[in-house]
Amino acid sequence: MSADTLLANPADFEIDITINDAGWRDVLSSDKIDINTLAGAAIRAAATAPQPPVFQELSIALVSDDEIQALNREYRGKDKPTNVLSFSAQMDGMPSPILGDIVLARETISAEAKKLGIYLSFHLTHLIIHGFYHLCDYDHEDDKEAAHMQALEIAALKRLDIANPYDTELTL
């Protein structure tokens, strides 16, 4: 079964969205963003990548900069906020119906979108796709890996009629 068939219907997978930072409600409301629809579209667009994972569920947590900084410090040894973190549910390469968690930081993401002069919804979509590819074991540790991951992101965003985010100076 192809990825398009597997994930063609939103009922084929579940996205559990948790809002840990109340500020996200204001941001999403003021920008008229339906996070469930946005996240579903982003994951379906990204899941057409080569060898997409078969999964039934993934989680997205909308957090503050303070919360993501604590996670970044604990799991990556970097004591600063970041825009997105991904945590795979895969154990020792064993398939799991739960793909993992994508964590998104409100203040950082909002500031980046403003600095770039782009819609918050576009930047949020990009970061969900970026986080999803990390859950699929893509990375950007060296130039070759980064170029490959960026190409996948650009193609997924193009399916959603969102411009190439790497035409800007901001890097993830």
pLDDT digits (tens, 9 = 90+) for 56-100: 889 999 999 999 999 999 999 999 999 999 998 877 766 678 889
pTM given for the model? 0.88
Cα dihedral value 107, 111, 112, 113, nearest 10 = 110
Tokens of residue 123, six digits:
């930047």
What is d(CA 132, CA 91) in angstroms, rounded to the nearest whole number?
17
Residues 6 or more apart whose Cβ sits within 8 Å of residue 24: 62, 106
> Cα(first)–Cα(last) distance of the chain, in Å?
32
Question: Alpha-carbon Rg of the chain, whole angstroms?
Answer: 15
